[in-house]
Amino acid sequence: MYIGVDLGSRTIKVAAWQDGRMVDQQLQESGFEPHEQAREMIKAYNPRYIVATGYGRHLAREHFANGVITEIKAHAMGIHTMLPEATTVVDIGGQDSKVITLNVKGQVTNFQMNDKCAAGTGRFLEIMATSLAYPLTDFGPAALASEEEIQINSMCTVFAESEVISLKNRGIPRQHIARAVHSSVADRIMTMLGRIGFGESIAFSGGVANNPCIVEMIRSRLENVEVNVPDNPSIIGALGASIEAARLGVQA
């Protein structure tokens, strides 16, 4: 079995690859010793080769992984397997966001990362959801249900939260504020896409791709472009790493 481990900022994902397909997957919130936690998660498999990706990949390699790839390559490989026609990958994770362009072989041709700032990342949505007293999984559907278009002006998560609080205090129904928050994230994603170009088929990966409002907003901001979300977008990085593990493990 070939294992991919994605040690992200908030969660650890594991994908197991065998006989040309993913046969198992796991996701857990990151604890204090992510490399130990990851090691525990993969104990039950009998790994031939382990590739780590994500924020904690070098830590994993120091402790148990055989190799590393960046989350850029991992998402490219994972998406290319699940959605081979994708020309661009948009990955919105817990603390960063990236856009990756691919060639027909699924190789990375270019990428843009925003990893300096929480704006436009899962963290932004999380903070706003708390501020508006929504469980995270309800946040997207609630925003989708609203039809009001209010603007959040602040780019910065901290200032945007202040803005949300003042909107609340003006008596604006929270689902409208929720929609404005989602619009803000969608706009940032569009800016990143604009800088790099995106072709005809965008694939959406990472935890935030589970949010139906963000997906819908991206779709509606683009014309003649497919926006696809694979089953279980959170696992794409780990999946890509497991495919790389299979590729390297066969040669090892």
Partner 1 sequence: MWRALDMDVERFDKMRLTLGEIYEKTYLSQVNRPDAMAYFDNMIAEIHGGRIKELLAAKEEGRPVIGTFCVYIPEEIVLAAGGICVGLCGGSQGSVPDAEKILPRNICPMVKSAFGFKAGRICPYFQVLDFVYGETTCDAKKKTWEILDDMVPTHVMEIPQMKNQSDRDMWLTEVKAFKTKVESVTGKEVTIEELRQATRIMNNKRKALQRLNRLRHAKPTPISGKDVLLIEQIAFYDEPVRFTAEVNTLCDELEKRIAAAVAIPNKNAARVMVAGVPMALPNWKLHHLVEGAGAVIVNEESCIGTRYYKDLMDEDAEDMESMLKNLTSRYMQIDCSCFTPNNERIDQVLKEYQESGAQGIIHYSLQFCHTYNIEEIRIRQACEKEGIPYMFIESDYSPEDVGQLQTRVEAFLEQIGD
Q: Which residues in this chain contact partner 1 in the complex, by CB under 8 A?
A: 55, 68-73, 107-109, 111, 113, 115-116
Work out how close the CB of 72 gets to partner 1 at its nearest, in angstroms, rounded to a whole number: 4
Q: How far is CA 241 from CA 2, 37, 155, 206, 248, in A?
A: 9, 18, 33, 14, 10
Work out how close the CB of 208 gets to partner 1 at its nearest, in angstroms, rounded to a whole number: 19
Report the residue number, 43 or 195, with the smaller CB distance to partner 1. Answer: 195
CA distance 134 to 189: 23
The secondary structure of residue 208, as a DSSP letter, is G
CA distance 97 to 113: 6
How big is the CA angle at 6 (ends 111 and 116), to the nearest 5 degrees?
A: 45
Report the residue number, 115 or 226, with the smaller CB distance to partner 1. Answer: 115
Work out how close the CB of 139 gets to partner 1 at its nearest, in angstroms, rounded to a whole number: 27
Beta bridge partners of 18: 21
| Sequence-ordered list of residues with C-beta below 8 angstroms from that of 23, at least 6 positions apart, any chain | 1, 16, 17
Work out how close the CB of 52 gets to partner 1 at its nearest, in angstroms, rounded to a whole number: 12
Q: How far is CA 234 from CA 85, 90, 94, 109, 210, in A?
A: 19, 12, 10, 23, 8
Q: What is the DSSP string of 151-165?
A: -----SHHHHHHHHH
Report the residue number, 110 or 162, with the smaller CB distance to partner 1. Answer: 110
Report the residue number, 181 or 246, with the smaller CB distance to partner 1. Answer: 246
The answer to whether the beta carbons of residues 15 and 238 sit under 8 Å apart is: yes
Work out how close the CB of 134 gets to partner 1 at its nearest, in angstroms, rounded to a whole number: 30
CA distance 158 to 140: 20
Report the residue number, 69 or 178, with the smaller CB distance to partner 1. Answer: 69
Q: How many CA atoms lie within 13 A of 183 on its CB side?
A: 16
Report the residue number, 70 or 228, with the smaller CB distance to partner 1. Answer: 70
Work out how close the CB of 172 gets to partner 1 at its nearest, in angstroms, rounded to a whole number: 35
Report the residue number, 54 or 233, with the smaller CB distance to partner 1. Answer: 54
Work out how close the CB of 136 gets to partner 1 at its nearest, in angstroms, rounded to a whole number: 25
